[in-house]
Structure 1
Amino acid sequence: MKKEELSASDINQIKRLIGQLDSTAVFKPRAFYKAQQNGYVNLIRIDKKIIGLGWIFPRQTLLRKQAVVEDMIVDLDYRGRGLGEKILLNLIAWARKKGIEVVELTTNPKRVAANNLYKKIGFKLHETNHYLLNL
């Protein structure tokens, strides 16, 4: 899957989307290019406008080859049209081609539509404590 170059308009559109995902996040174009190098970023466009995206990256553990889905978002105005499912299925297809055994993701329990989508695709809720340490 080809690497995309971003125009100034693309950067602004991604900033807006990331703001919908996390209002405190600061999008840096360099991070986008690193994400492409380390995995796959799926951008969904309608009439040249980026209206959704998702990122997946591989991670080798001692037990298996896995991939993690991060930063998946569909613009508020385009939700409910199956675009999140399209993004997720594209990410999973990438993982299959790379020989990934397990795909994992996390989401806020309050994101009902997202949780329902993940269950529909076949993800199973894995009971665990998820900890973060900000450095």
Structure 2
Amino acid sequence: MSELQIETVSAVTPELVEGVNRLLPQLTSSPKTLSWRDLEAIVASSSSLIILARCDQEPAGMLTLGWFSAPTGPRAFIDDVVIDERYRGRGIGEALVRSALDHARRLGANTVDLTSRPAREAANRLYRRIGFEQRETNSYRYRFDAVSG
């Protein structure tokens, strides 16, 4: 197996911009191309971070960890988990999620939430194996761009 490195992104580089924009179409069917400035805003955020996986120095996967304080206690969430299709099945997703859980624990989060489409069967198996519990809840999304007038 290639050498795997997990890192918290602290600076934007041309390689990061290229790598993120290569991964996003593997995550969503309507990816937005992120600019240097877009990534700088994410990296500078005080409430989120990007965790990047590299195989032989090449970006191979990533996720975003976000956190906030609520009246019921500090919480964290994992979003935008994607592994390059060339590197799937090598434990990279697990390494990324475990790294995010370690960060969330150090931040004092009481819980870490994530969502995953049912069709992402391997990802759902991974989350259950790590210890995530499926919740009995409805998930809703409000889209500002879909609301007229």
The normalised TM-score by structure 1 is 0.92
CA shift digits 1:107-135 (9 cap, x unpaired): 10110000001001100001111111110
Pair 1:47-2:53 in alignment: no
Runs ≥4 residues deviating over 6 A? none
In structure 2, what is the equivalent of residue 96 of structure 1? Answer: 105
Preserved CA contact (<8 Å) 2:8 2:51: no
Measured after TM superposition, the shift of residue 40 of structure 1 is 2.2
Q: Unpaired segments of 5 or more residues in structure 2?
A: 1-6, 145-149
Task: Go from structure 1 to structure 2 and tell me whether the alpha carbon gap of 1:20 and 1:2 turns closer, same or farther (over 3 Å shift).
Answer: closer
Counterpart pick for 1:77 among 78, 82, 86: 86
Identity across matched positions, percent: 30
Q: Distance in 1 between matches of 2:72 and 2:101?
A: 20
Measured after TM superposition, the shift of residue 3 of structure 1 is 4.4
In structure 2, what is the equivalent of residue 17 of structure 1? Answer: 23
| Aligned positions, number | 135
Q: Unpaired segments of 5 or more residues in structure 1?
A: none
Counterpart pick for 2:32 among 26, 31, 44: 26
Task: Go from structure 1 to structure 2 and tell me whether the alpha carbon gap of 1:2 and 1:125 turns closer, same or farther (over 3 Å shift).
Answer: closer
Measured after TM superposition, the shift of residue 96 of structure 1 is 0.5
Measured after TM superposition, the shift of residue 2 of structure 1 is 5.8
Preserved CA contact (<8 Å) 1:66 1:101: yes
